[in-house]
Amino acid sequence: MKKYSLHFILLLSVSTLLVACNADFMDTKPQTEITADDIWKEASLAKAYMYDIYFTFQDAGFTEELQASATDEALFTHGREFRETNAGAVTDVNLGWFAKTQSGHQWARLYRNIRSCNDFIENVDEATFDDNNKMQLKGEAYFLRAYFYHRLTRAHGGVPLQLRVTQLTDAQEDFLIPRASYDDCIAQILSDLDEAAILLKDRTFANTDKGRATLAAVKALKVRVLTDAASDLHDEATATTKTPIFAAYANKELLFYTKGSRTDRWNAVKAAARDLMDNPLGHAIPTFGGPGLTNEAKAEQIWSFFTKDSPDHIFSRYFIDTKQESGGRMPLFNGPSGYHAWGGNTPVQDAVDAFLMADGSRFSWNNPAHAAAPYKNREARFYATIMYDGMQWIQRPSDYAAEEPTGRIQTGYYQLDPASTDLHAGMDTREGGGENWNATYTGYYLKKFINPAKGDHRNYINAVFPFIRLSEVYYDYIEACIELGELDEAKQYLNGIRANVNLPAVTTADKAELRRIYQNERRLEFFFEEHRYWDVRRWMIAPQAPGLNSLNGIRITGMLKAGVPKQAKATYDESKWTYQYRVVPLLQENRKWVDKCYYLPIHRDEIQRNTNLIQNPGYGE
């Protein structure tokens, strides 16, 4: 008889447990175990089992160590495994940051949850509770199995497809499943999503508990899966031309998609995206306050949008301040050191420079006007996303407000005495008066998702991390149009999105330039939302991405203007200080792209357990 851990039972109320366990004091069944028969008799137990599968998302994209720091968005201030990851030093015995639970991509954990999904798919039809619950739970199991397999294929390419629950009495070959081809994995994921769509056909944003799968989530995940499969990384001719280790790899079926032509693949993306765009099932992309707002007001709307729930959110993880989960501590993990926060994942200079000017032109340090005032006249998303020197933030805690009472971010160094060239370190620097061991190296802090409860970064917050937004479906549609050469269609939708953030329309008729503009727009739209790591790989632009091959920050100095007397405190004031900005190389990481990092390795322990597994190119040699 199968027995289940009580981990998921903790999600039930204590009162329910007491009734279930003590209804008959003569019942001698151990109270720390439940059987399969129990699970399929009670909807509440089956739901708790399903919640345990959802728990694999844990703190989602709001962990202390963010995926943003494994790519060209951020630097993790405290180092750790990101050093190996970003130096291309990942091996089949050291997967760097991706070996950690926080990454959400652990091989063994994903397969454990796939096994639980298989358990639902095999057994829930015979459950004795009501059919509505059975349909929803089975639909969720298909969706989650597809989601987990997609996570595995993004990281590793083709993986073993284990589609049933194995038992200790099964034959050895049932445990030694070889990697399936990438084609077969994508086909299985799409098949699971088709099954989920049937079972969840009536589940919408309005009638489904937050955080659970809906029909929109199923359709949106299908768009994401098809977009990955259509991209350069999975096209054999393209990838092998760009990357020698792929050309020499003997098992190309594990990496490349062969279904149809590339035109067929992008048409499939476009059709799947169009299906949800035409009937968004209660979802809507954001307008950030609508037209006519100033850039300052638009920035406030954009920042506010990411602090709460929205119809744009299709599949998300929710956190409440009364439940003390790490996912509710984004302000603490990433806020400025001068607010008793940890400054953990700080934007790097390359990412900051990617934000456009307010007129839609590209920022450039070679432009004297830009270099003299790099934080002026930038697009609204910049002000909603990045904390920079001189930015007005909230009042500091009382112990730090005595030194810096204005609530402005201080990542610069100030001359206070005209008779001396000594510089005073700003409150939020590594030499400043805040918790300087937690201060930024890059000269920036994250503003997106940072919403301190009651004005204190140390408090837990209500928050939502969006795994999938309707906006992503629109972006995938635009990308498909570009790759199909339907540039006018692509610009129509891209310009609609740009108008929502006060940017002018794109007019270029050049496909390569439109692709570059699109890729940068996507980078900014989904900043810190766990897209960039996968995008730079599937586009195969990582070798040319500056932030993956170097690491830069900013050094800011404020020198007193002529005639300004000695100052008691440093504060951002252009009437008193002349500010100088210098991009500086950072030595915390030796960032270097290595082609093997297009995929993660399968850990050597897994290969030793299953000798039928084939390693990815560049590893285990």
State yes or no: pLDDT of 10 exceeds 50. Answer: no
Report the distance separating Cα 220 and Cα 210, nearest Å.
16
Helix extents (H) in 426-571: 470-483, 487-499, 511-525, 532-538, 546-549
Confidence of residue 34 (pLDDT cuts 50, 70, 90): confident
Report the distance separating Cα 314 and Cα 465, nearest Å.
11
Q: Where in the chain is the domain with CATH 1.25.40.390?
A: 3-58+104-283
What is residue 379's DSSP assignment? Answer: -
Instruction: Tell me if 298 sits within 8 A of 380, measured CB to CB.
Output: yes
Q: Per residue in 238-248, pLDDT tens?
A: 999 999 999 99
Q: Per residue in 462-480, pLDDT tens?
A: 999 999 999 999 999 999 9
Report the distance separating Cα 263 and Cα 308, nearest Å.
38
On average, the pLDDT of the chain sits at 93
- pLDDT score of 617: 97
- pLDDT score of 192: 98
Q: Per residue in 442-459, pLDDT tens?
A: 999 999 999 999 999 999
Beta strand 577-585 with 552-560: parallel, antiparallel or unpaired?
antiparallel
Residues of the chain above pLDDT 90, percent: 89
Q: Per residue in 481-511, pLDDT tens?
A: 999 999 999 999 999 999 999 999 999 999 9
User: Nearest Cα to 68, choosing from 289, 351, 388?
Assistant: 351
State yes or no: pLDDT of 23 exceeds 60. Answer: no
**pTM assigned to the model:** 0.94
Give the count of beta carbons closer than 10 Å to the beta carbon of residue 29: 11
User: Nearest Cα to 229, choosing from 180, 193, 264?
Assistant: 264
What is residue 595's DSSP assignment? Answer: G
State yes or no: pLDDT of 7 exceeds 50. Answer: no
- Token pair 């996912």 is at which residue? 327
Instruction: Tell me if 387 sits within 8 A of 393, measured CB to CB.
Output: yes
**54-64 burial code (b ≥16 CB/10 A, e <16):** bebbbbbbbbb
Instruction: Tell me if 519 sits within 8 A of 546, measured CB to CB.
Output: no
Mean pLDDT of 3-24: 39
CATH 3.40.462.20 fits 3-58+104-283, yes or no: no
Going from the C-alpha of 168 to that of each of 2, 165, 172, 426, 476, the distances in angstroms are: 11, 10, 9, 62, 43
Mean pLDDT of 144-161: 98
List, as one string, the DSSP characters of 285-351: ---TT-TT--HHHHHHHHHHHTTS--TTEEEEEEE-TTS--GGG-HHHHHS-GGGT----EEE-HHH
- pLDDT score of 14: 32
- Token pair 């409860």 is at which residue? 453
Mean pLDDT of 205-215: 95
Mean pLDDT of 160-172: 83
- Provide the token pair at 363: 């920022």
State yes or no: pLDDT of 31 exceeds 70. Answer: no
- pLDDT score of 24: 43
Confidence of residue 172 (pLDDT cuts 50, 70, 90): low
Give the count of beta carbons closer than 10 Å to the beta carbon of residue 261: 8
Q: Per residue in 83-131, pLDDT tens?
A: 999 999 999 999 999 988 788 888 999 999 999 999 999 999 999 999 9
In this structure, the dihedral spanned by the alpha carbons of residues 78, 79, 80 and 84, taken in order and rounded to 10 degrees, is: 170
Instruction: Tell me if 379 sits within 8 A of 391, measured CB to CB.
Output: no
Residue count of the chain: 621
Per mean pLDDT, which range of 18-27, 45-54, 360-369, 488-497 is the poorest? Answer: 18-27
Report the distance separating Cα 486 and Cα 596, nearest Å.
33
Report the distance separating Cα 477 and Cα 480, nearest Å.
5
Confidence of residue 230 (pLDDT cuts 50, 70, 90): very high
Mean pLDDT of 253-278: 98
User: Nearest Cα to 114, choosing from 199, 195, 192?
Assistant: 192
User: Nearest Cα to 598, choosing from 509, 514, 538, 516?
Assistant: 538
